[in-house]
Amino acid sequence: MTQAVFLDFYNTLAHFDPPREQRQVQICREFGLEASSVAFRRAYPAADDYFYKETVSNPVDGRSEADRLQVFAEYERRILMGAGLEVSPATALQIWQKLRQLPYKFILYEDSVPSIQSLKKKGLVLGIISNIAKNQTQLFKELGLDTQLDFIVTSVDVPPGKPHPAIFLKALEQAHTTASQAIHVGDQYHIDVVGAKGVGIRPLLLDRDDFYTEITDCQRIKGLNEVEKYL
Q: What is the CA radius of gyration of the chain?
A: 18
Question: Nearest to residue 183, comparing CAs of 145, 226, 215, 222?
Answer: 226
β partners of residue 154:
130
Q: What is the pLDDT of residue 51?
A: 87
For residues 205-220, average pLDDT: 93
> Is-cis flag, bond preceding 45, omega within 30?
no
pLDDT band at 7 (very low <50, low <70, confident <90, very high): very high
- Write out pLDDT tens, residues 102-130: 999 999 999 999 999 999 999 999 999 99
What percent of the chain stands above pLDDT 70? 100
Q: How far apart are CA 179 and CA 177, in angstroms?
A: 7
- pTM of this prediction? 0.89
- Closest listed residue to residue 203, CA positions, set 186, 215, 222, 226: 186
Q: How far is CA 129 from CA 59, 150, 172, 188, in A?
A: 17, 12, 10, 12
**Which amino acid makes up residue 90?**
A
Single-letter amino acid, residue 226: E
